Each structure stands twice: as structure tokens, then as C-alpha cells.
Amino acid sequence: MSQTLRHPEILEILRRDGKVTVEQLADHFQVTLQTVRRDLTELADSRQIERVHGGAILPARTTNIRYEDRKTINHAGKSAIAERCAQDIPDDISLFLNIGTSTEAVARALLNHKNLMVVTNNMNVAAILAANPNCEIIVTGGHLRRADNGLIGNPAIETIEKFKFDLAVIGCSALDHDGDMLDYDMQEIGVSQAILAQSRQTYVVADQTKFTRSAPVKIASLRDVDRFYTDATLPRELSQLCADHGTKVISPST
């Protein structure tokens, strides 16, 4: 396969998986490691990707990846995280699920739960849980972000402040090496911080692709949450931070 044909496919794999390795691409295209490294260098020089040790990721931006692309990135990993998280969510509680493809996966994993009151600012979550007749669904007000059907802004915050949730499950767009959970939209950040303030317990769901991404605005730190569900071994710094502050780290295998 020629270089001009490999480049678009490399970008497509990145949009799907969030990260590629040199070895993975060499095996996929049946070319040498040197050829793959040259491809990645050229894509990085044109600012279409960002090189990391052993491979590449999508470049850090001040705006999020398109929702349609985010839905396909590490879909299997997000589903496994969601199933494991749902095992720890009891029936008969009030629950908040926020914006994101990971929390939408959690909603799908809750379709057999009973007597849940779910409040959400994610219209996709509401549509998913509508299939569960044993779930009461409350949608916040807010400004509709058409890109992903999220509700943001002060009306969403005002709704959230009327509740005290037993549990909130939230996602984030990126996770910094110091444990800060990051996102892109200031209005969404305010909503996420209100959720944390109004919840007795908070679980974070974030797959391994969030470890290699960046975003400009801080939501909170992993030290501020009770459990962190992910699908990969944490980098040493993150693992130590969670251990120091009592944040329980849980993966699909545990």
C-alpha cells in the first residue's frame, strides 16, 4: 500500500482507537517499522497527529474531538468499564450521569436496574434509559449543545442544586499526569463541579485514551472522587495519587 493510502487509514485508526503504536501499524500494513516511523513523522510534521513514545495520538486541541468520532474510540474498553461500574451501582438510589460517551455506556449497562431515579444533562443518556421501565428520568434544563446533545449552562446548574444525589457517575475529556480531570467547555465544567458538590459519592469512568489527551480546563482532581473505573494500569504518578487519597481504582478484571 502506498504512503498516500496509508496516511488516511492511520488517521482513521487513531479516531477509532485514540492511540496507535509503531508495531501495531507495521503489522497492520505489513511494512517495516522504519516505514511506519516515517509515516508518523510526516503526519506529525503536518500537525495531523502527535508523536508519543512508541506511537502516536490525536493532537491536543482546545476543542474536543467530534462526538461521532468519540463514540468509536475504544468502544470495547468503554463498554467493559461501564459494565464493571454498573455492578457497583445498587438499585433504589438517586443517580446523576453527565455528558460523555463513557457515561452513555454506563446508561446502557443499567437497563436491568430497578427503582433508579436518574438525573442527567445528557439527552442521549435519557433516551437510552427510556428503555428501562423501572427508571425515573429527570433531564436538567440548559443550553442544548447540538454537537453531542448535552445540556450546559446556568439552567443545568440550577436544576442540579435542587438535589442531593446518592451517587454521581461522571466522565472527563482528558486526565492529566497530576490527577486533574480536564475538559474543554467552561459551561460544562461548571455543571460538572455542581454535580460533584451535590453527590454523596462520585465515580469517574475514563478509558486509557484519556491518559494521553489534553484539555485546557480543570474539573477537579481524582483525589476528590471515591472510585475511578478504567481499563488500563495507571501511570505511576496517578496510581500513587489515588493510593494517597483513598480513591479506589477499579478495572473490568477486578
Higher pLDDT, 19 or 10: 10
Reported as a single tens digit per residue, the pLDDT across 130-182 is 999 999 999 999 999 999 999 999 999 999 999 999 999 999 999 998 999 99
* Longest pairwise C-alpha distance within the chain: 59
Higher pLDDT, 200 or 48: 200
What does each C-alpha distance from 170 to 1, 28, 37, 192 come to in angstroms?
Answer: 42, 35, 36, 8
Domains in the chain, CATH or no CATH each: 3-57 (1.10.10.10), 67-250 (3.40.50.1360)
Rg (CA), the chain: 19
- CB neighbour list of residue 57: distance below 8 Å, 6 or more residues apart: 14, 18, 19, 20, 49, 50, 209, 212, 213
Reported as a single tens digit per residue, the pLDDT across 48-99 is 887 877 888 877 665 677 777 788 778 899 999 999 999 999 999 999 999 9
Separation between Cα atoms, residue 23 and residue 242, nearest integer Å = 31
C-alpha grid cell, residue 58: 490525536
The share of the chain scoring above pLDDT 70, in percent, equals 97
**Summary mean pLDDT of the chain:** 92
